[in-house]
Chain A
């Protein structure tokens, strides 16, 4: 039972344009959401997070949007850069439960 879903396994975006990565979840109890970035042969690294009491959180070129009614969150990267090419995982948690990860989206930035 995949409670956190990333339905696009891959995404290609032109350098300089906006990258939008999507994530849907089924558990309405989730109250904290995170995005991780993973380069090949490396472990995931934390990118940005959002609490369920907010609908937007911004950090430089990265913005995460949360739509609780739709159980949907998205990560916007603008402008996209070649170094953004990686696999992006969303993850969710409620209370002190362990993180539930999505399956990842491979983002490729085309120079």
Chain B
């Protein structure tokens, strides 16, 4: 399966712990988008990354959230000191082209539950 791979699929964290979500894009894709879907809501854009570069982080909460996409390895979305309100499904999508969000392929998502 050469699609977008996200892991873990399910993640349970206690309040105050850190959550690390990984996204391996389609082989050859150098652009990654992260989205969050809160219960009863649509997907909301969080951050757009190119390898070693954050292009647009306008959807990221100002505190506790960070993202990276290193030259080698998967993209990581990190949430520090998680709170109950962080419980959501987090999706990443990858595309081969700059700015081609509408051509991006989505991963299966990581469902984060904060207890």
User: A-side interface residues toward B, CB under 8 Å?
Assistant: 2, 4, 6, 32, 34, 41-46, 49, 89, 91, 93, 96, 98-104
Residues on A with C-beta less than 8 A from B43 are 44, 89, 91, 99, 101
Among B9, B45, B48, B99, chain A packs the most CB atoms within 10 A around the CB of: B45
Known pairs A45-B106, A93-B102, A98-B56; A103 contacts B45 (CB<8 A): no
Residues on A with C-beta less than 8 A from B105 are 43, 45
Can you name the residue of chain B whose Cβ is closest to the Cβ of A39? B108
Query: What total of chain B residues lie within 8 Å of the partner, measured CB to CB?
Result: 26
Known pairs A43-B93, A43-B108, A98-B59; A4 contacts B102 (CB<8 A): no
In the complex, A89→B35 CA distance in Å? 14
One of A32, A42, A104 near B108 (C-beta < 8 A): A42
CB distance from A7 to the nearest CB of B (A): 13
CB distance from B44 to the nearest CB of A (A): 7
In the complex, 18 of the A-B residue pairs with CB atoms within 8 angstroms, ordered by the A residue number, are A41-B9, A43-B6, A43-B91, A43-B93, A43-B107, A43-B108, A45-B105, A89-B42, A93-B101, A96-B99, A98-B33, A98-B45, A98-B58, A98-B101, A99-B45, A99-B101, A100-B42, A103-B42
Taking A43-B105, A103-B40 as known contacts, 16 extra A-B pairs with beta carbons closer than 8 A to each other, sorted by chain A number, are: A34-B102, A43-B93, A43-B109, A44-B91, A46-B102, A49-B102, A89-B43, A91-B42, A91-B43, A93-B101, A93-B102, A98-B101, A100-B42, A101-B35, A101-B42, A103-B41
Check B4 for interface membership: any CB of A closer than 8 A. Answer: yes
* CB–CB A101/B106 < 8 A: no
Among residues 97 to 115 in chain B, which have CB atoms less than 8 Å away from a CB atom of chain A? 99, 101-103, 105-109
* CB–CB A4/B42 < 8 A: yes
* CB–CB B48/A43 < 8 A: no
In the complex, A4→B4 CA distance in Å? 26
Residues on A with C-beta less than 8 A from B44 are 101
